[in-house]
């Protein structure tokens, strides 16, 4: 039954020219253009997922579908690929915007700093300033999210560490708890692996929705 429900959830694929590089964006839910949608039904919040490596947004489709369903389909869930990590099919139209102020200014777009600027440029040109934003980063996507949030250091953060994660061992969790005892720093109790998108998308989606429940109820 669960798989049948997820199949009914539409995912819209776009390739957008961002910082001069074609970029795959997958959009879960009926809202595909937040800037030009002036209807009363336009959502007030976007859940934005920044992938880990190798940066293929398609691997996150089961997770974004599950999360969209877990927040009762009230808010769009988008996932963005890293610059240079997804190529558009030859017959796929690549969308452009004339409002990207950083299109020619990002140096080393394929490097780490360039990838951060790439995500910032997308948010500036595709998400209205008045819209609330939930950033979800996985693996290197966490680092990128933290760099973005340096622009707004007062915003709340939740860190979630695995117990069976060779990329990010438990000692990192313990160090963070020691350095930031008042922080919202959590340790996984379900033995979910680092690559949660490969079989544990529903569990993670349910947890994220539960963490957001109180805040989303106020919107």
The Cα–Cα gap between 54 and 68 comes to: 23
Q: Are 114 and 107 in contact (CB under 8 A)?
A: yes
Residue tagged active-site, from 118, 145, 165, 201: 165
Active site residue 85: no
Beta bridge partners of 95: 16
Asked whether 131 and 42 are in contact (CB, 8 A), the reply is no
Kind and range of the H or E run holding 159: strand 158-161
Strands 158-161 and 184-187: parallel
Q: 180-200 as b/e, with b when 16 or more CB fall inside 10 Å? A: eeeeebeebeeebbeebbeeb
Annotation marks residue 139 as catalytic:
yes
Q: Which residue among the candidates 69, 70, 139, 145 is catalytic per the annotation?
A: 139
Token pair, residue 138, equals 């996985």
Is the peptide bond preceding residue 54 cis, with omega within 30 degrees of 0?
A: yes
Query: Has 126 been annotated as catalytic?
Result: no
Nearest Cα neighbor of 79 from 146, 38, 138, 162 is: 138
Q: 142: helix, coil or strand?
A: helix
Residues noted as catalytic: 139, 165, 194
């Amino acid at each position: 039954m669960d798989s049948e429900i997820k199949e009914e959830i539409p995912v819209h694929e776009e390739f957008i020219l961002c910082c001069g590089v074609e970029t795959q964006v997958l959009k879960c839910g009926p809202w595909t253009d937040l800037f030009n949608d002036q209807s009363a039904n336009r959502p007030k919040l976007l859940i934005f997922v920044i992938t880990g490596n190798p940066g293929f947004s398609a691997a996150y489709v089961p997770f974004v579908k599950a999360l969209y369903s877990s927040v009762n389909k009230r808010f769009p869930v988008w996932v963005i690929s890293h610059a240079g990590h997804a190529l558009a099919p030859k017959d796929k139209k690549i969308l452009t915007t004339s409002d990207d102020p950083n299109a020619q200014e990002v140096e080393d777009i394929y490097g780490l700093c360039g990838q951060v600027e790439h995500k910032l440029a997308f948010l500036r040109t595709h998400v209205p300033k008045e819209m609330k934003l939930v950033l979800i980063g996985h693996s290197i996507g966490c680092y990128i999210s933290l760099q973005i949030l340096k622009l707004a250091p007062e915003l709340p953060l939740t860190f979630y560490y695995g117990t069976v994660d060779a990329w990010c061992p438990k000692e990192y969790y313990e160090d963070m708890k020691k350095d930031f005892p008042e922080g919202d720093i959590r340790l996984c109790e379900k033995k979910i692996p680092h690559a949660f998108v490969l079989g544990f998308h529903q569990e993670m989606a349910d947890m994220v929705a539960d963490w957001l429940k109180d805040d989303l109820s106020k919107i």
